[in-house]
Amino acid sequence: MQPINRRLAAGTLFLSLLGALPAAQAESTRRKKGGTKAASRSGAGSRGVRLKPSPRTTYANGDTPAERQRNEDARLRRECHGRPNSGACLGYAQ
């Protein structure tokens, strides 16, 4: 009778472990994805590390790339008026 009790106990233990397996897998998946929902909404890195802001490009005179492009376009429109539509004036001469 003793081997039957051992088998019954082993079977019961096995079934209880199978029932807990999906919950353990869900917990493991949640930890891999970044923890709780509140932690994932913070916008910071996965470990709370502050991200550095992207560097801002400025030129020696203090212009940003957009301001520099506007100034260049205005200069070319001014200088290329009535000139052949080639070289640097391509698209600016009218």
pLDDT tens string for the chain (94 positions)? Answer: 466 777 777 777 666 666 665 666 666 666 666 555 544 455 555 677 888 888 888 888 888 889 999 999 999 988 888 778 888 888 887 7
Instruction: For residue 39, give the amino acid letter.
Output: A
The pLDDT of residue 74 is 92
Flag whether the pTM goes above 0.95.
no
**E runs forming strands in 26-69:** none
The pLDDT of residue 39 is 47
Alpha-carbon distances of 42 from 26, 27, 28, 33, 70, rounded to whole Å? 22, 20, 21, 14, 37
Q: Find all residues with CB under 8 Å of 30, minimum gap 6, and list them.
A: 36
Whose tokens are 């020696």? That residue is 60
